[in-house]
Structure 1
């Protein structure tokens, strides 16, 4: 569990005194971009890459090996790859089905799938040995993660490399961006291939290597914006100097959506993926076959009732205004009527946070919940608007039966 300081900085534009005001600013001043220093990049390379990851991760990585159809094609232009494969969100679990690491997987454009330097035709076809996937992972556990995957490697022909010095992770987000997250926006953001073209910063970003790095819609939720990995010595395309901002603002954006990220916000060896909404975030395939920890995940899913889920929280005072008092991760959320524990705050940022709460008590109404030991700090649990309707129905049906 992890807590950032409540003070946020907008390096290139006006600072605000309250976190709530900052979120309002994020809603209206986007698109913003943040370098994600909390994330690093690992490369998997070799002919057994897909087979190796398929037996470990929660999602179906075989998609990266399938022919690219019209669904994933982009419009060919002089400085765009002719086709691209969307990234994938996935997790590695313990054999007991508990969370260990999350990964954003990217397949870089192969030379046959993008235009050459002259923009006159495709490049040469690579051999199987060069097949590779890049993974955006939690920087705080980078070395441990690499060693864990190497432990599973055995005789598989796959190299696992820390390439954190060469590549950086970025997020592009904000209210204006999410509202118009369209194909046109994604195509514009993808303009980082060879040739003369629409976006000179994109051309510069890809110059000197055989890869066309680009922005993609966040594979979890469209409302989270665009995500990508880029060479560390270049600025990603479409990042305006006055709209580059601190990563804590991206954290606030995620908190408001009810989305945790990384092994510090999702407790390693403890978190149950379905309670942290991994199914709704498209991180789990329920028909891919076996992977590490699959049995518990499948059993929990088919039972159909998740009694606890991760929720966005607001911390309020007795007057219903956002409380300025600090709430630490690990604080217990209590039901004021019964005196029973409802859940735990997992992440906190000023008067906002994330918490794993029992749904039966989470939405009882104003003033029903408070922080243990800080009884004057009330807790408001918020149901994210992206939640599938079936989650609410399951909870209501279970409550009625109980």
Structure 2
């Protein structure tokens, strides 16, 4: 089963997103101009009271950084994604070949782009990908064909992976160099003429994000749309809690449900056998996903501080604001300015209940990450649309626990 995109996702997202942007504008300092910190972050829910339908932050967003950059995120815009690459897959056996390798369902009748992941035999994520397929491409090739979008640093490894599994399959694997990838958000997608895009997709990972394939010679998506730096795209992802690429979804380590690929319509739990299916289906039937990637707010008493190191443990804080010993509540994944991503133990850092025994979270708990400049407080964010998707997909399974 692929998770549907509820129609009220965007409405709920816009309310929460605008609230975060307004708070950040009021309390903004500076945010780094880099595309992202080369670090990882896990979400902190310590200052949020969370139930199944709503999460409320008790503290406003503040930006901090050791480098100069714009003080607030752009509510609307578009950016070219030069860090993403495309691999062309075509041939009479292309659909059947890909069906055995990715988490989403592939058949020759499917002619619209979708999100998916490649897994290893242990069920760990190798690559998060978009599969670009559209009627004109199929007509041009004379059979089902697609472009596989992946992080540029992993394109070579993915091509080797495909060729290793090719065997006698009648497929052709090559670079796709005639088009590029763009992202847009806010009001910008409504300004994009259809003729400017080869194909487009409402990004299923979060409301408000859109993705496009455009000809390489185009310098903008729309004539009246300002072209923004890719750092703005990364900031939008972090505000929404969307991980992407090997820095945030570490290869052969991350689990697909922990990265919310299931909540992003990226896994079809009813499809046939594929590499890594066993653990994925077993997790689905147990009904328990204890850790998930979430957006986080970061707070430090200093005006300028370096970001936490990728993979640093998130710990509960004592009354003096120091990290306690004991089990980590999560891990810091990535961030820019005051926002980021973290992998969180849901029942430890939030009031979400995902198992029969429940967790240790209590109102008033605070969490943080140790850095060379002191403790950075970490606060997780639970968007309404996230809670709705998680409940829709997993509540029925929990009744069997």
TM over 0.5: yes
Name the structure 2 match of 1:66.
109
User: How far is 1:377 from its partner?
Assistant: 1.5
User: Contact 2:78 / 2:221 at 8 angstroms: preserved in 1?
Assistant: no
- The answer to whether 1:270 aligns with 2:253 is yes
User: How far is 1:47 from its partner?
Assistant: 0.9
Query: Which ranges in structure 2 are unaligned for 5 or more consecutive residues?
Result: 1-29, 36-61, 319-323, 351-361
User: Contact 1:317 / 1:378 at 8 angstroms: preserved in 2?
Assistant: yes
User: How far is 1:301 from its partner?
Assistant: 1.1
Structure-2 change in CA distance of 1:108 and 1:23 (3 Å): farther
Name the structure 2 match of 1:89.
115
User: How far is 1:231 from its partner?
Assistant: 2.2
Q: Provide Cα deviations, 1:337-363, integer angstroms capped at 9, x if missing partner.
A: 453311111112122211111112213
Structure with larger RCO (C-alpha < 8 A, sep 6+): 2
Distance in 2, matches of 1:278 and 1:252, equals 19
Mapping for residues 283-322 of structure 1, pairs under 5 Å: 283-318=266-301
Counterpart pick for 1:53 among 98, 101, 116: 98
Counterpart pick for 1:143 among 145, 153, 156: 156
Name the structure 1 match of 2:132.
106
Distance in 1, matches of 2:199 and 2:390, equals 34
Structure-2 change in CA distance of 1:286 and 1:190 (3 Å): farther
- The answer to whether 1:339 aligns with 2:325 is yes
Structure-2 change in CA distance of 1:328 and 1:56 (3 Å): same
Counterpart pick for 1:352 among 318, 339, 358: 339
Distance in 2, matches of 1:390 and 1:141, equals 29
Name the structure 2 match of 1:378.
377
Distance in 2, matches of 1:42 and 1:155, equals 19
Distance in 1, matches of 2:224 and 2:338, equals 29
Q: Provide Cα deviations, 1:277-325, integer angstroms capped at 9, x if missing partner.
A: 111111000011111100100000111111111111111135xx99744
Structure-2 change in CA distance of 1:324 and 1:151 (3 Å): same
Distance in 2, matches of 1:87 and 1:48, equals 18
Name the structure 1 match of 2:310.
329
**RMSD (Å) for aligned C-alpha atoms:** 3.4
Structure-2 change in CA distance of 1:172 and 1:19 (3 Å): farther
Distance in 1, matches of 2:130 and 2:122, equals 22
Distance in 1, matches of 2:104 and 2:211, equals 18
User: How far is 1:233 from its partner?
Assistant: 2.1
Structure-2 change in CA distance of 1:9 and 1:350 (3 Å): closer
- The answer to whether 1:254 aligns with 2:237 is yes
Name the structure 2 match of 1:77.
none
Distance in 2, matches of 1:394 and 1:107, equals 26
Distance in 2, matches of 1:355 and 1:365, equals 20
Distance in 1, matches of 2:167 and 2:218, equals 36
Structure-2 change in CA distance of 1:396 and 1:54 (3 Å): closer
- The answer to whether 1:219 aligns with 2:211 is no
Counterpart pick for 2:81 among 32, 36, 51: 36
Query: Which ranges in structure 1 are unaligned for 5 or more consecutive residues?
Result: 11-16, 68-84, 113-124, 193-201, 203-211
Distance in 1, matches of 2:304 and 2:293, equals 21
Q: Provide Cα deviations, 1:208-259, integer angstroms capped at 9, x if missing partner.
A: xxxx7133322333322x2112221223542546x10111110010011011
Q: Provide Cα deviations, 1:74-133, integer angstroms capped at 9, x if missing partner.
A: xxxxxxxxxxx4310011000110000111111133289xxxxxxxxxxxx6574x5421
User: How far is 1:388 from its partner?
Assistant: 3.6
User: Contact 2:128 / 2:150 at 8 angstroms: preserved in 1?
Assistant: yes
Distance in 2, matches of 1:357 and 1:235, equals 39
Distance in 2, matches of 1:153 and 1:388, equals 40
Q: What is the TM-score normalised by the length of structure 2?
A: 0.72
Distance in 2, matches of 1:229 and 1:59, equals 20
Name the structure 1 match of 2:218.
234
Q: What is the TM-score normalised by the length of structure 1?
A: 0.72
What SS is found at the alignment partner of 1:52?
helix
User: Contact 1:335 / 1:361 at 8 angstroms: preserved in 2?
Assistant: no
